[in-house]
Amino acid sequence: MFSIPELRFSQKYPFSVAAKNVIAQSDFTLENVPESVLNRAKAMVHAAFTDQEYRPNIQTSPELLKNEILAFPASKILVSIIGRYELYRKFSELFSNSIFRNLEEEKDGVLIDLASELNLRFSLSDSQDFFVELNLIDYLRPNLEETFMKLVNRELKMGKVFLTRNDFARLISIVVGQGIRDSLPVPLKGIPNFFKSAAESIETEFSQSVRKKFSKTDFGKVSPESFPPCMSKLYSDLVQGVNVNHSGRFAIATFLASVGMEAGKITDVFRNAPNFNESTTRYQVERIAGVKGKGYSSPSCDKMRSYNLCVSNCPVSHPIIFYSKEISKTNSKINSEENFNSAETNA
Ligand code: SF4
Q: Quick one: what percent of the chain has pLDDT higher than 90?
A: 46
The number of C-alpha atoms within 13 Å of 94 and in the hemisphere containing its C-beta is 25
pLDDT (0 to 100) of residue 231: 95
- The pLDDT of residue 344 is 59
pTM of this prediction? 0.64
Helix (H/G/I), strand (E/B), else coil: 26: coil
State residue 157 phi and psi, 5-degree precision: -145, 130
Q: Is residue 326 within 6 Å of ligand 1 at its C-beta? A: no
Q: How confident is the model at residue 333, as a pLDDT? A: 64
Q: Is 322 in the pocket of ligand 1 (CB under 6 A)?
A: yes
Residues 214-240 have pLDDT tens digits of 555 556 678 888 999 999 999 988 888
Cβ pair 171, 149 in contact under 8 A = yes
pLDDT in tens, 258-289: 888 888 889 999 988 888 888 899 988 888 87
What is the pLDDT averaged over residues 290-295? 64
**Banded pLDDT at 150 (limits 50, 70, 90):** confident
CA 310 to ligand 1 center in whole angstroms: 5
Q: Give the closest residue to 38 by CA, choosing from 80, 73, 7.
A: 73
Q: Check: CB of residue 139 under 8 Å from CB of residue 122.
A: no
- Segments of the chain assigned to CATH 1.10.579: 222-331
Cα 341 → chain centroid: 42
Strands (E), the chain: 122-124, 132-135, 155-157, 160-163
**Distance in Å, CA 25 to ligand 1 centroid:** 45
The answer, yes or no, to whether any atom of ligand 1 lies below 6 A from the CB of 222, is: no
How much is the mean pLDDT over the chain?
A: 85
Assess contact for 86 and 302: CB atoms under 8 A.
yes
Contact 203, 83 (CB under 8 A): no
Please check the confidence at residue 208 and state whether its pLDDT lies above 90.
Answer: no
Query: How far apart (Å, rounded) are the C-alpha atoms in residues 148 and 284?
Result: 50
The predicted-structure confidence for 16-60, as pLDDT tens digits, reads as follows 999 999 999 988 788 889 898 999 999 999 888 877 777 766 667
Distance between Cα 19 and ligand 1 center (Å): 38
How open is the CA angle 72-78-81, to the nearest 5 degrees?
Answer: 145
Ligand 1 atom at minimum distance from 321 CA: 3
Q: Whose CA is nearest to atom 8 of ligand 1?
A: 230
Q: How far is the CA of 244 from the centre of ligand 1 (A)?
A: 17
Strand-strand pairing, 132-135 and 122-124:
antiparallel
Nearest CA to ligand 1 atom 3: 319
Gyration radius of the chain's alpha carbons: 25
Which class is domain 222-331? mainly alpha
164 pLDDT band, cuts 50/70/90, is very high
For the Cβ of 301 lying below 6 angstroms from any atom of ligand 1, the answer is yes
Rounded distance between C-alpha atoms, residue 170 and residue 166, angstroms: 6
Structural element, H or E, at residue 248: helix 246-258
Provide the 3-class DSSP secondary structure of residue 160.
strand
Residue 132: φ, ψ to 5°: -135, 160
